[in-house]
Amino acid sequence: MRVLDRGDQLRKELDAARAAGCRVGLVPTMGALHEGHASLVRRSAAECDLTAVTVFVNPLQFNPGEDLDEYPADLASDIELATAAGAGLLFAPEVDDMFPGGPPGVTVRVADADVLEGASRPGHFDGVATVVAKLFNLAGPCRAYFGEKDWQQLGVVRRLVADLSLPVEVVACPTVREADGLACSSRNARLSPDERVAATVLYRALTTAAAAMAVGGSDAAAVRRVLADVVATEPLAALDYVEALPDRLLVAARFGTVRLIDNVHIGKTEI
């Protein structure tokens, strides 16, 4: 496993790998890796010759007052997990290396991204798209792996690739959950024991609403009400939003200072 922290090194190593005939898979992350990330790495390692994991807590996608400074970090454990899952390279740059001149003057702006996560976190997806585009340009992967856990982000990345004709295939991977249904997230580590128990209400709300739809139909307002009612049963949960789209239910809520999101596919099969 090679660990790099400079963009020019990453480009050089992956250029050489490509010249030797390797298909490069990329797994962009913000570190504090868990089983959800591992599933992306394993999928890439199964489909590509060389898998590069990036660990970069991207300041452009955080708003003032969000948890940029508290975001969990543990590079030694990330290296261990990425290696075990089959990565060949881990790129963990400092902010100064990604943006030596301070915040970038040229950025990607994502249209229609002011709903759901974008409504609660203005500019978030512009920050995501700008850094994902930069990582794609540094790494030159043929495939890049993203989780359905961040469902709206997945759509933004697909749009980025389509609208800018980036030569990357985006691969969506299903959400990995803890045994009690809570979606794996780096932010789960910041929950108190009580909040950790309370957080299971998110998946409970999603599955309850999905089951209610199977019986009572798919009137979006009624489904949103079921989602909100279940979240409201948990005193430690402060609801941010619920949404019922034709094929997906989504929820976001705060537990203390920790904001969590989750979603499920509705329909006959998981994508």
44 binds ligand AMP (CB under 6 A): no
Near ligand AMP by CB under 6 A, which window of 72-80, 83-91, 100-108, 170-178? 170-178
- 3-state DSSP of 149-160: HHHHHHHHHHHH
Q: In 10 A of CB 104, how many CB atoms?
A: 13
Residue among 101, 33, 95 nearest 60 (CA):
95
Nearer to ligand AMP, 226 or 240 (CB): 240
CB of 22 to ligand AMP, least distance (A): 22
Near ligand AMP by CB under 6 A, which window of 34-42, 63-71, 196-204, 213-221? 34-42
Amino acid at 133: A
Amino acid at 233: T
Joined together, the tokens standing for residue 241 give 């939003």
Give the x-and-dash track for 119-158 against ligand AMP (CB under 6 A): ---------------------------xx-xx--------
Which of 26, 40, 87, 201 touches ligand AMP (CB under 6 A)?
40
60 binds ligand AMP (CB under 6 A): no
**Order of strands across the sheet that contains 24-29:** 2-4, 89-91, 50-55, 24-29, 143-147, 169-173
The span from the CA of 246 to the CA of 266, in Å, is 8
Residue 124 known to be catalytic: no
Question: Which positions lie near ligand AMP, rule CB under 6 A?
Answer: 29-30, 36-37, 39-40, 146-147, 149-150, 173, 175-176, 183-186
The residues annotated as belonging to the active site are 37
